């Protein structure tokens, strides 16, 4: 009976109220504020397309895209916004901003606003454009980690905004100006542009650059992405230290002493998330995952940190296109440094249930990884509680009305019985009186 009542409550709530409403967006200066996008890191001289996927997703979920409104993208220079036209080096095309090409001076915060007479919503993204000589150029790297002997197939990342027709992608290793040829460490067919290494060796470690030549408005532009390939050997070479107890050679003792007292490089430590933790959100909502690593500041630049999806890089996983990785940030804390790397899942779906998300960090001192899971919020229990309360209130109200409705009827019936009894008594008394009168007469 209780189960039936709960089911009835769920049906009533679903048909009357529909799906639970999305939480309201915060307001600032009369405009609804969407969470900032993942920061974008690009190279000087490349064509750059700035988009707002989190912002667009909120517009779709909330159904707030009236045809009378328009997108306005501005650069926040600290005093007032600078708007852009549809021509020139920096062009606005609907909800995108094109830099043809990008320059270091383009770095900054960009705001996208969607406004009409009754509604206003805005989102923001921070763009970093680095020159090749900049000390921060390593922030452009997409770190990936593989094991010796593993097969690598890696697609040039973050190119979805560019024209895919007649795409030609070339790969370069380290500072070489000669593209990698097929048959060695090779890029596959020109359509897919994947970096393929059949069996990874330690010598394959290094920095790879994939470069796309794209045609925009009849003019050729360069687009490049840089990948830092870290190679892990499960069976590293072991250096043997001499046994000092078996010799009295002072030179050997001296050299061994130097080996023993070589400064120790400590491995990086993942502070958050904790191993086994679960990232949970509702269906269709975005999700932000932040990996924070503690390491020595002198090792910060050489410390690799990346997110893996079911053991694969984000770009080569099923989440490619829905997950954005970036925003590496180094912060000095006392005598150590924190390295942060964000991963944003634009919209959670049923496919993401139990997906294994792994944060991996590594430097010369060692390696650590933390395994977490994605999970959709179980709204059943919440709806059951709401339904139980609703059904209880419904039954209480029904019971009250039944009580009020039937209580007067019982009273009337009792009065009727009393009346019948009185009538019977009166009739008996009348008959007795009539009998007495006859005897008297």
Domain boundaries, the chain: 34-130, 135-233
Q: What is the mean pLDDT of residues 131-157?
A: 86
CATH of domain 135-233: 2.60.40.10
Q: What is the mean pLDDT of residues 271-294?
A: 86
Integer Cα distance of 307 and 310 in angstroms: 10
Per residue in 331-364, pLDDT (tens digit) is 887 677 889 999 998 888 888 888 899 999 998 8
Q: Kindly report the average pLDDT of the chain as a whole number.
A: 76
Confidence band, pLDDT 50/70/90 cuts, at residue 328: confident
Q: Which two tokens stand for residue 163?
A: 């024209």
Q: What is the mean pLDDT of residues 226-239?
A: 72
CB within 8 Å of 5: residues ≥ 6 apart:
388, 391, 395
**Top-confidence range, 17-21, 114-118, 275-279:** 275-279
Q: Domain 34-130: which topology?
A: Immunoglobulin-like (2.60.40)
Q: Which two tokens stand for residue 418?
A: 């009393």
Q: What is the mean pLDDT of residues 293-320?
A: 88
For residue 164, the model assigns a pLDDT of 62
DSSP string across 299-329: GTTT-EEEEEETTEESTTSTTBTTEEEEEEE
Tell me which of 222 and 70 has the higher pLDDT. 222
Q: What is the mean pLDDT of residues 101-130?
A: 90
Integer Cα distance of 386 and 358 in angstroms: 36
Q: Do domains 34-130 and 135-233 have the same CATH topology?
A: yes
pTM (2 decimals)? Answer: 0.57
For residue 1, the model assigns a pLDDT of 45
For residue 235, the model assigns a pLDDT of 53
For residue 234, the model assigns a pLDDT of 57
For residue 157, the model assigns a pLDDT of 87
Integer Cα distance of 153 and 360 in angstroms: 19
């Amino acid at each position: 009976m209780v189960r039936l009542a709960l089911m009835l409550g769920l049906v009533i709530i679903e048909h009357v109220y529909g799906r639970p409403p999305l939480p309201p967006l915060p307001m600032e200066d009369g405009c609804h504020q969407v969470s900032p996008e993942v920061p974008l890191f690009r190279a000087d001289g490349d064509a750059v397309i700035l988009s707002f996927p989190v912002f667009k997703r909120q517009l779709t979920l909330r159904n707030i895209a009236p045809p009378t409104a328009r997108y306005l993208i501005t650069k926040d220079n600290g005093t007032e916004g600078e708007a852009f036209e549809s021509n020139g080096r920096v062009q606005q095309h609907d909800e995108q901003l094109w830099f043809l090409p990008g320059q270091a001076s383009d770095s900054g915060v960009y705001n996208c606003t969607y406004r009409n007479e009754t509604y206003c919503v805005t989102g923001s993204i921070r763009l970093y454009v680095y020159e090749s000589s900049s000390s921060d150029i390593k922030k452009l790297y997409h770190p990936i980690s593989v094991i010796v002997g593993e097969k690598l197939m890696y697609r040039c990342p973050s190119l979805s905004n560019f024209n895919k027709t007649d795409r030609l992608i070339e790969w370069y290793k380290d500072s070489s100006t000669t593209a990698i040829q097929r048959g060695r460490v090779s890029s596959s067919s020109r359509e897919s542009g994947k970096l393929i290494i059949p069996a990874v060796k330690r010598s394959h470690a290094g920095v790879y650059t994939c470069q796309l030549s794209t045609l925009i408005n009849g003019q050729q532009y360069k687009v490049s992405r840089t990948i830092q390939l870290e190679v892990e050997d499960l069976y590293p070479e072991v250096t043997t230290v001499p046994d000092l107890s078996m010799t009295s050679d002072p030179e050997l003792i001296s050299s061994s002493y130097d080996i023993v007292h070589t400064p120790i490089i400590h491995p990086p430590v993942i502070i958050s998330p904790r191993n086994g933790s679960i990232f949970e959100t509702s269906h269709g909502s975005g999700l932000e995952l932040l990996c924070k690593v503690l390491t020595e500041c002198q090792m910060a630049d050489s410390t690799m940190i990346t997110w893996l999806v079911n053991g694969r890089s984000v770009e080569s996983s099923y989440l490619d296109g829905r997950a954005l990785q970036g925003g590496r940030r180094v912060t000095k804390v006392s005598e150590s440094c924190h390295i942060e790397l964000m991963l944003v899942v634009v919209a959670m779906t049923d496919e993401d249930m139990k997906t294994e998300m792994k944060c991996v960090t590594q430097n010369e001192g060692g390696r650590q990884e933390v395994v977490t899971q994605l999970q959709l919020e179980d709204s059943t229990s919440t709806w059951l509680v709401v339904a139980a309360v609703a059904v209880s209130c419904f039954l209480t109200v029904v019971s009250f009305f039944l009580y009020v409705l039937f209580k007067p009827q019982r009273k009337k019936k009792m009065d009727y019985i009393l009346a019948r009894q009185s009538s019977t008594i009166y009739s008996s008394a009348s008959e007795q009186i009539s009998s007495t009168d006859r005897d008297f007469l």
